[in-house]
Amino acid sequence: MIKWGTFSVSLFFIISLVLLAVFTDDTFSEIQFVLILTVALLFGLGSLALYLSKVVIGETTITSYKWYGKKSIRFSDIKEVDYTSFFGGCIVLKDGHQSVWVPIENVGTADFVKLLCAKVGQEQCGKAVQAIYMRKQELARFM
């Protein structure tokens, strides 16, 4: 649902920028036109990347789908659970060969961390639990 909202806002912004560039008077320079189209293109590509990304939690695996492909990791293969603040915050699951990033802003992330703790052990999930706690504290300040 959030992705549709982001996609819609970005699409509206792109269309507005293009219309602004096309229907303004002659004082609008070519450089401004190219800059507006570049920003619109970047928003469009970013929106498409957001729209195409998702994380699917199964009984035995976690699969992350991105615009460039997918990555899967089995719960039984997870050797490390980490947290990074990149991209607004992500829980990083590592198995020694690859890593799968789960954005903390996804709906149901707190439930996912509970499931993760049950599957791989509470001692490995300390950073993920701390990240959820900090996010809840951050959101509580706005209530």
> Are 71 and 133 in a shared domain?
yes
Q: What percent of the chain is modeled with pLDDT above 90?
A: 5
Q: Do residues 61 and 43 share a domain?
A: no
Structure tokens that stand for 98 in this block: 């690859």
Same domain, 60 and 33: no
- Same domain membership, residue 85 and residue 41: no
Task: Determine the straight-line distance between the first and last CA of the chain, rounded to whole angstroms.
Answer: 22
Question: Do residues 77 and 11 both lie within one domain?
Answer: no
pLDDT digits (tens, 9 = 90+) for 51-78: 777 888 888 899 888 878 889 899 989 9
Domain housing 118: 54-140
Task: Count up the domains in the chain and report the number.
Answer: 2
**Does 133 score more than 70 pLDDT?**
yes
Closest by CA to 93, choosing from 107, 113, 111, 110, is: 113
Tell which wins on pLDDT, 33 or 125. 125
Average per-residue pLDDT in the chain?
A: 80
Per-residue CA distances from 112 to 11, 103, 128, 133, 137 (Å)? 31, 11, 10, 14, 18
Residue 126 or 8, more confident: 126
Please tell me whether residues 129 and 81 are part of one structural domain.
yes
What is the pLDDT, as a whole number, of residue 7?
A: 62
28 and 81 co-located in one domain: no
**Are residues 90 and 27 part of one domain?**
no
| Whether 119 and 84 share a structural domain | yes
CATH number of the domain within which 72 lies? 2.30.29
Sheet holding 90-94, edge to edge: 80-84, 90-94, 99-103
Average pLDDT over residues 36-56: 77
Do 31 and 61 belong together in one domain? no
Backbone angles phi, psi at 85, to 5 degrees: -90, 0
Tokens representing residue 21 in the block = 């560039």
| pLDDT tier, 2 (very low <50, low <70, confident <90, very high otherwise) | very low
pLDDT recorded at residue 93: 92
- Whether 27 shows a pLDDT value over 70: the answer reads no
